[in-house]
Amino acid sequence: MSSSVGPTATPPPASATHRPPNRGWVSGMVLFAGVIMLVGGILEVFRGIMAIAEDDVFVTTPRYVFRFDLTSWGWIHLVIGVLIALVGFFVIKGAAWARIAGIFLVSLGLIGNFLDLPYYPLWSVVIIALDVFVIWALAVYRED
């Protein structure tokens, strides 16, 4: 007497079983994060130049705990903006080291924008939200 369990199917190829789901979506998120880093870094450079020139766009808060001179904030944004834009370019190119450096630099940019909230509040909140997305997109990506 033979035991018949049912038809047996051939298993899928090994490459199909080890493929991460939504590969195109994840790659797209990293590309988007790189573009946001590149554009956001360039905008931070412009923001830094505006602060160095002591533009009237910025609000001053007399009793702020993390109070710096507007020119100091300008140089901070200028340097971090250049670094973020440069690393964002390499994220777009697909460099693995750039994702790690991007997480670090965007985290610094996020902290800088948080500390800079009283000087340019709406822009800082928007950049903080984008920075959180960029950090997440760079952190969840896994290469095959």
User: How does pLDDT run across 73-84, given as a tens digit for each residue?
Assistant: 889 889 999 999
Do the domain assignments include residue 22?
no
Do the domain assignments include residue 7?
no
Structural domains counted in the chain: 1
Distance from C-alpha of 71 to C-alpha of 44, rounded to nearest angstrom: 14
What is the chain's length?
144
Distance from C-alpha of 54 to C-alpha of 86, rounded to nearest angstrom: 25
Residue ranges making up the domain that contains 95: 34-55+65-140
Query: Looking at the predicted structure, is the pLDDT value of residue 91 above 60?
Result: yes
Q: Which amino acid is at 138?
A: L
Do the domain assignments include residue 13?
no
Residues 107-113, mean pLDDT to the nearest whole number = 92
pTM: 0.75
End-to-end CA distance of the chain: 47
